[in-house]
Amino acid sequence: MNITTCQFCRKPFASLGGRICPACMEQIDKDFITVREYIYEHKHSNIDRIAKETEVEKQVILHLLKEGRLIIDSPDGDGLLFCESCKKPINTGRLCKECMGNAASAMDKSVSASQAAKQHAAAKAAEPSLKGSAKIGQ
C-alpha cells in the first residue's frame, strides 16, 4: 500500500492504486448525481455554468467527464477535453469516436488477426448501425 496525495484535496492517504482519497470519492459520487440531474434538465449547458449553478467544483466535473460518467452536449466540448490520440475536442472520455474505433480494431488484431479481418468484412457487409452512446436525453 502506498501513501498518495489525493488529486482533489491534496491530503495524503493510503492508496490501493487510485489517486483520490475515500472522502473525495464519496463527495464526487454525490456531486455526480447533482451534476447529472442538472445536465438532464439543461442539456446544452457548459461546464462553467454547471459549476456555478450546481456549486460543484469544475475539476470534479472535468474528472467525471474524463471518466466518461458525464457527457456535456455541446458541440466543441467547451475546449476542455481533448482526444488523447489526435487532440480533437471531445465531450466525454479520453478518445474521440474515430480513435476509439481505431483502438478497438487494433485490439481485435492483437487478439486474432484472421478473426479481426473476418469481423471487419462482416461489419462492412452489414453496414454497422451507430453504436448508441449513452447520451442523456436522447
Residue among 14, 86, 103, 123 that touches Zn ion (CB under 5 A): 86
Residue among 57, 85, 119, 136 that touches Zn ion (CB under 5 A): 85
Residue among 9, 14, 106, 122 that touches Zn ion (CB under 5 A): 9
Does position 80 bind Zn ion by CB under 5 A? no
Q: Which of 56, 58, 66, 48 minimizes the C-alpha distance to 29?
A: 56
Cα separation, 93 vs 67, whole angstroms: 5
> Cα–Cα distances in Å, from 110 out to 100, 107, 114?
15, 5, 10
Which grid cell is 91?
Answer: 465531450
Whichever of 41 and 75 has its CB closer to Zn ion, that residue is 75
Phi, psi for 20 (deg, rounded to 5): -125, 130
Nearest approach, Cβ of 115 to Zn ion (angstroms)? 25
Q: Which stretch binds Zn ion (CB under 5 A): 50-58, 66-74, 99-107, 116-124?
A: 99-107
Which grid cell is 67?
Answer: 471518466
Does position 21 bind Zn ion by CB under 5 A? yes
What are the residues binding Zn ion (CB under 5 A)?
6, 8-9, 21, 24, 83, 85-86, 88, 96, 99
